[in-house]
Amino acid sequence: MSSDLRFTSAQAVTREAGKLIRRRFEDKSSFKLSFKGHQDYLTEVDGEVEELVVSRLRALFPEDTFIGEEGRREESASVWVIDPIDGTANFARGIAHFCISLAYLRKGKPLIGVIYDPMRDEMFCALDGGGASMNGEAIKVSGLRDIRSATLEIGWNNRSGMAAFVELVEKLTVDSGAGMIRSASGALGMAYVAAGRIDAYVENHINAWDVLAGIVLVREAGGYVSDFLAGDGLNKGNPVLACTPKLRNALVKASGIGTLKR
Ligand code: LIP
């Protein structure tokens, strides 16, 4: 079945899921909060949303399989990769900066990326070869050339630890003069690179469900993305560098992530 039908379906399903996420966010009594590990929040809503997305897509595309943050690991030649709530810590603490992230891979290549922010009603989407858009308007990376004027988002997670995060921040900002943010949603960080709102997203380690949709968005918006799927990125995660192309070499040299443009 065509990617086009999957592309339109992915947008419809993430928008429906976004309504559920927003309802739960606005009613704190509607869910319990727990931890998967140190600083790794989990809410009942994550599982509820993943179930909704899987049931809708399985009904439409019964031959497809699913990899999801909440436990599914069904790798195949036609697989959806889901983060039901990216920015779970923000969601749990009442900070309205999170999204649902949905990617589709065929024979190992990410073809579709959809990231929906239900609080701002912003639908970022991209189809392989079809460009990237936000709410139907074409988007492109920033085109910035001067790293001293750049805004970088540097992701933090408990998988790599704080010392590695601080080292990466130092490498990327102390000599370059770039500014940095950390928003606790890697998927929205990737979407903002694609939309030109920031100039790069870098993280020492990120999981496939956090980043694959954003990789399609940044690629289709004219950006550079490191080879996240190298090794066994789909199952084990990897570092990621995504940026506007003129900053690629400076950021690869500073971070040690990605490859230089020859
Ligand atoms: C988030 C990731 C990001 C990381 C955040 C957080 P989650 O995922 O998108 O890479 O920097 O700390 O882990 O756990 O909110 O789905």
**Which residue among 206, 209, 241, 257 has the greatest number of ligand 1 atoms within 8 angstroms of its CB, and so is best to mutate?**
206
CA gap 14, 18 in Å, rounded: 6
Q: Does residue 183 register a pLDDT over 60? A: yes
Q: Which fold has domain 3-138?
A: Fructose-1,6-Bisphosphatase; Chain A, domain 1 (3.30.540)
101 band by pLDDT with thresholds 50, 70 and 90: very high
Arithmetic mean of pLDDT over the chain: 95
Q: What is the pLDDT of residue 117?
A: 98
Q: What separation in Å is there between the alpha carbon of 2 and the centre of ligand 1?
A: 31
Query: What does the pLDDT average to over 202-217?
Result: 98
Per CATH, the architecture of 147-255 is what? 3-Layer(aba) Sandwich (3.40)
CA gap 186, 221 in Å, rounded: 17
Q: What separation in Å is there between the alpha carbon of 95 and the centre of ligand 1?
A: 14
**Which residue among 153, 158, 190, 210 has the greatest number of ligand 1 atoms within 8 angstroms of its CB, and so is best to mutate?**
210
pTM: 0.96
Q: What is the pLDDT of residue 1?
A: 53
98 band by pLDDT with thresholds 50, 70 and 90: very high
Please choose, from the candidates 260, 203, 255, 189, the residue with its C-alpha nearest in 3D space to the C-alpha of residue 233: 203
Listed by start position, the domains of the chain span 3-138, 147-255
Query: What does the pLDDT average to over 76-93?
Result: 96
Q: Does residue 120 register a pLDDT over 90? A: yes
Query: What does the pLDDT average to over 46-75?
Result: 95
Pocket of ligand 1 from Cβ distances under 6 Å: 69, 83, 86-89, 155-157, 184-187, 203, 206, 210
Question: What tokens does 14 get?
Answer: 């993430």
The reply to whether 147-255 shares the fold of 3-138 is no
